[in-house]
Structure 1
Amino acid sequence: MELKQLYETVVSTTEMLGGLVPIIAIAMSLNLLLTAEQVPANLANWMTSHVEDKWMFIIGLNLMLLAVGCLMEIISAILIMAPIMLPVALAYGIDPVHLGIIMVINLEIGLLTPPVGINLVVATSAFKESFLQVTKSVMPFIVLMIGVLLLVSFVPEVSLFLVN
């Protein structure tokens, strides 16, 4: 690699990080706020007292995780949500591996979903395309991922066959 190529690479990387770092900083700040206000714990308590059916819990969990995935980056979301959702899921008889796979799929769909979708911002910077163009391009994949999410959520054997 020549010095000119190194310079161009550093500039390109800096431009991409300039768009990502504020988003990650905001997501981390949101994580701190939600944790300090005990929002995840209160949500888990509400769910166990109001949702009696395992399948309704899974539907609610999917909707909640899709919303969380749109607003937070995946590692922070897992670190906050997994310890809170695991006892609730176990109370409904949901396997921890199944819960983890549901969480990862949901959060990844959220990372690809406008308006925040951190992966959309990365793709916009990396491919030098407009946000709208990148969003249009990922829509078929989001639909496919939602289909996989439904399959994994409601047919646990799909996610547990290797474990068993």
Structure 2
Amino acid sequence: MDNDLLNDPIDDSVATDESGQPGSELSKANARADENYNKFLLAMADFENYKRRVQRDIEQRIVEHRRRLFGRLLPVLDNLERALTVPVGGEALRTGVESTLRGFEAVLTSEGISAVDVKGHPFDPHVAEAIGTVAATDGQADETVVEVAEKGYRLGEDLLRPAKVLVAKHQ
């Protein structure tokens, strides 16, 4: 070790401000830093509360939406149950089922859900899934959807489910 450093006198003078009061500038800076830190902590707490409130609002909206949706579907369920009480066959059963189907389609439409129209159109793998092929008839274009086994649906522009289709193929 360097002996000169050990023998240096200690400078015990304190910085003074213009008024001659020691450390008042430092204490003011510390007070401002404490105040800013407390403001930061309050802002962080406010932000966390905001995030919780937004999450709670989102969850409430989802619950409300589901309640409205399923409330509109319950009459469809009631109609299907009534259809089961009708003696087998007959025009009354068919009429009841058709009415129920229209009611269900109306609920889907009100929610922005629409069927994908693919029959007679060229096969598009973005909206349909080919489950088989059939021999194309004369005048029928190759790769044309000839039968829909299961409808596809969109929610707005988003595909909920692709249609399951049979596609014409020239042999």
TM-score scaled by length of structure 2: 0.31
Q: Whose helix proportion is higher, 1 or 2?
A: 1
Q: Whose strand proportion is higher, 1 or 2?
A: 2
Larger Rg: 2
Could you say which structure has the greater relative contact order, defined with CA pairs below 8 angstroms and 6 or more residues apart?
Answer: 1
